Structure 1
Amino acid sequence: MATAGSEYVVQRLDGVRRANLAVVSRTIDRLRIASQTAISDETGLANGAAANLLAELRRIGLVEDTEIAATGARGRPRRAVRLASRFALAVGVEVSVEAVAISVRGTDGVELANSYARQERRPDSLPAAVLDVLAEYAKLLGTTGLPPLAASLVIALPGVVASPHLRVPPFGWTDVLIPDLVRTAPPPVRRLSFLNDGDAAVIAEAALRPEVECVAAIHGSDGIGGGVSLNGRLFSGAGGAAGQFGHVVVETSGRPCHCGNQGCLCQYISTTAFAEDLREGATLSALGHRRYATDLATRARRGDSAALNLLERAKARLGQAVDVLGAVLSPETVVLTGNLAVLAPWLASPPSSRTPAQEYRAEWSRPVEGSALGQDSVVSGAAVAARAAILDDPLSFTTT
């Protein structure tokens, strides 16, 4: 008969095994194709332990056998493994003020399907929005013929995530309990979680720069958000509120902001602010924020003086905020994402050519660049986070 002590030992051993499976899964993902010897060398696990863990991953279907070509002119190829594509689905979702975007990726990280649906009417509540997302995901599976495999689904939205609470001030959704939302997920969705959209954006950007210690993303939607990644890990701060770069004050006693301050960056650099400055509210309403940013970039490219003057002023304001980021965080790079990405040719800047010996403030001068992902950093980052959840606990996505 099991005792309380023996049950604790079993639970502890199960936790250790799950942790080791995650280490091996992550190692295979990083190496892409890995032999047992390489896994043992990379993780420090004994060959026998590595063999047992690999056997478990083969059994559940997370990995599949392949070969590594032998070095030299002779010799048989060595046995190796790689991640299987159809073990589970990693689903990233972006809920913005105007649309729902979905990216479905295989366990190996390759995108299998995507969709972008403009929303003419905002859901009345966050639970209703989650149901809409699940319906869009089911429709995408149906139209693409993808099987309803076990899935990890991450929803990124312009809210503050501080588990177990979630607030989305732009939509008027306050103090929603995450566990209540998770219970609405259908059985194939084994894990449903939520991210701030700026945090999702920086996750995507950090994944493209694994060697960079600190990455900051300034994200543009209707307003301005952002996120920080330190050593490949998201830095959320107290209460999940880190990275709100749109509320860096760049003008003392400037334009009033909904946060209660005056002169916040988002009041000068955002599609909302741009349309207000150009008196193009009707154009913004007709195009939506995403297409309006693209249209503004097109006009600037054609030499439109009003657009170019606007973006010149915006770059100066952005430089003020980046100086603050440089002094506080000193990120190796600041990436413009979302609707700012398409405007990066006019907002980006190289690092200062001056040295700290010439000017002390050059110490925190940071380069600003546009995202290689264009306006899709958020949905991409949500998919990256969803896939990470699969690799961190693959047993949760099995039926055995």
Structure 2
Amino acid sequence: MRPTPRVETFPANTPAASQIFTTVLSQGPLTRLEVARRTALSPAAVTKAVKPLIEAGYLVEDAADEVRPALGRPANPVRVDGGRALFLGVKVTGDEIIGVLTDLCCRTRGARRVPLADRAPKPVLAAIADLVGELLVQTAELGVGVHGLGVAVSGDVDRAEGVVRYSPFLNWHDVPLAELAAMTVGLPVTVDNDVRALTVAEQWFGAGVGLSDFAVVTVGAGIGCGLVVHGRVVAGAHGVAGEIGHVTVDPAGPPCHCGNRGCVEAIAGEAAIVRQVREATGIEVRDATEAVTLAHRGVPGVREVYARAGEAIGRGIATVANLLGPERVIISGEGLAAYDLFAEQIRDTLTAAAFGSAAQCDVQTRPLPFEEWARGAAATAIQSFITPDDPHPSR
């Protein structure tokens, strides 16, 4: 028998309190004075917000052995008690569903994968329910309630409404996934685009901690981009901000499934690379793994395909750099398995196409398996729990 999920309300009932908690969550342990400096709030406001969070067990006050001001009483740092609450995250791909159980600090406590034989909404929901049930069994021995489920799906996702407007890999149109999943699993559900979910995890718990402006670019089956501008994850008025995969870099290039020609994804997505390798070699290449193998073997024409892909990705990143000037660009995704084949072209094209100091942004690679994308979904559930009225809050 599955344990019954226990859901409670987060005690921070003001935007300032949520901001304070989020700052400690992503950057703590911190003294109250440090929290005030980083949030630009008064020390009195911080003290007022911290008290109920400590009383409810979400924050813990540590001894001040190593944190003492020059004068006066020692400053006690506060930190988040990660074991105070649990969350679930699910990443849906075209072939499988990956799920994780995390604590409040988004540390993974368990993980499961199940194959996906049918991409229609009903069997996907059934598979999510089965996977969630397996992960909930683990919570019984932990004795802590699960406070939310996050689901990450590729494509055009309206997080505020919980609706998947269009997912090309699942062939979904206007699916009210949050509502359907909540009825199925009995938990509050947050649904977001998978790259944005990964960006939330990087902002709060990864390579974007402490940065006001950065981008996450993912390469693989698609080319995605999550944006953080002035400390906020940007979705845009229509929820599709950051779609660099559909930036045209070659007007005379190959057709894209979006209806345009020469998009970054039409040149550098895995399906596009496989098709171009077939055309260049005459070999019936089945997937990206085989294409990478041929490139490493030195089969004529294959490295040129990857070079063009690198140039397209570099132009896409340069577009982001020119428009938003991020401090850092984090490159991730399953396509990093081929990164050595196009890394030079990405860097050279970015340097050539970025304007002025925009080319100086720090470019990092982060090979993240799909469990990390599911962890990103859990991060959106944590985010919704802390700030239920704002789907993309400031740090």
Shorter-chain TM-score bucket reads 0.7 to 0.9
Shift in alpha-carbon separation, 1:40–1:147, aligned structure 2, 3 A: same
Question: Would you say 1:84 and 2:67 are equivalent positions?
Answer: no
Match of 1:104 among 77, 84, 101: 101
Q: Once superposed, what is the RMSD of the aligned Cα atoms?
A: 3.8
Residue 95 of structure 1: aligned partner: 92
2:286 matches 1:275 = no
Distance apart, 1:136 and its partner CA: 0.7
Q: Which of 53, 56, 62 is the aligned partner of 1:60?
A: 56
Task: Give the aligned partner of residue 251 of structure 2.
Answer: 252
1:268-305 Cα deviation digits (max 9, x unpaired): 11111122122376632xxxxxxx45x65565456555
Aligned counterpart for 1:192 among listed residues 189, 194, 197: 189
Q: How does 1:36-75 map to 2 (within 5 A)?
A: 36=32, 38-39=34-35, 44-45=41-42, 47=44, 50=46, 53-70=49-66
Structure 1 segment 1-400 matched on structure 2, within 5 A: 17-36=13-32, 38-39=34-35, 44-45=41-42, 47=44, 50=46, 53-70=49-66, 79-119=76-116, 121-125=117-121, 127-142=122-137, 146-147=142-143, 149-162=145-158, 163-164=160-161, 165-170=163-168, 171-177=170-176, 180-181=179-180, 183-187=182-186, 189=187, 191-207=188-204, 208-279=207-278, 283-284=286-287, 292-293=288-289, 296-297=291-292, 300-301=295-296, 303=298, 305-349=300-344, 361-362=355-356, 364-365=358-359, 369=363, 371-376=365-370, 378-392=373-387
Cα distance change on mapping 1:366 and 1:258 into 2, 3 Å: farther
Letter in 1 for 2:166: V
Counterpart-to-counterpart distance in 1, 2:349 and 2:178? 50
Please tell me the residue identity of whatever aligns with 2:25: D
Distance 1:112 1:130, change over 3 A: same
For 1:243-274, what per-residue CA distance to the aligned partner results, in whole angstroms no more than 9, with x for missing partners?
21111112223222221112222121111112
Displacement of 1:156: 1.0
Aligned AA (2:274): A
Mapped to 1, the partners of 2:155 and 2:354 lie a distance apart of 37
Q: 1:370 to 1:347 in 2, by over 3 A?
A: farther
Q: Secondary structure at the match of 2:385?
A: helix
C-alpha distance in 1 between matches for 2:358 and 2:23: 35
Post-superposition shift, 1:133? 1.6
Alpha-carbon distance in structure 2 between the residues aligned to 1:336 and 1:211: 18
2:225 counterpart SS class: strand
Amino acid at match of 2:28: R
Q: Is the 8 A contact 2:88 2:149 kept in 1?
A: yes
Distance 2:105 2:308 in 1: 43
Select the structure of larger CA radius of gyration.
Answer: 1
Question: Measured at CA, do residues 78 and 226 of structure 1 come closer, stay the same or move farther in structure 2, by a change above 3 Å?
Answer: closer
TM-score of the two chains, using structure 1 as the length reference: 0.76
Match of 2:238, SS state, is: helix
Structure 1 counterpart SS, 2:254: coil
- Return the letter of the residue paired with 2:252: S
Contact 1:99 1:116 in 2 (8 A): yes
The percentage of aligned residue pairs carrying the same residue is 22
1:190-230 superposed Cα distances (whole Å, 9 cap, x missing partner): x3111112222333444412344432333234232322221
Structure 1 residue 15, shift from structure 2 partner: 10
Q: Which amino acid aligns with 1:201?
A: L
Distance 1:77 1:310, change over 3 A: same
State whether residues 344 and 369 of structure 1, in contact with CA within 8 Å, keep that contact through their aligned partners in structure 2: no
- Change in Cα spacing, 1:45 to 1:128, as seen in structure 2 (3 Å) is farther
How far the C-alpha of 1:132 sits from its partner, in A, is: 2.0
Contact 2:256–2:262 (Cα < 8 Å) also in 1: yes
User: d(CA) in 2 for partners of 1:321 and 1:53?
Assistant: 42
Amino acid in the other structure paired with 1:372: R
Tell me by how many angstroms 1:360 deviates. 9.0
In the alignment, the residues of structure 2 paired with residue 248 and residue 98 of structure 1 have an alpha-carbon distance, to the nearest angstrom, of: 27
One-letter identity of the residue aligned with 2:89:
G
Match of 1:345, SS state, is helix
Q: Could you tell me how far apart the structure 2 residues matched to 1:202 and 1:30 are?
A: 13
Cα gap change, 1:366 to 1:35, in 2 (>3 Å): closer
Question: Unpaired segments of 5 or more residues in structure 1?
Answer: 1-13, 285-291, 395-400
CA contact (8 A) 1:336 1:368 kept: no
| Maintained 8 Å contact 2:102/2:375 | no
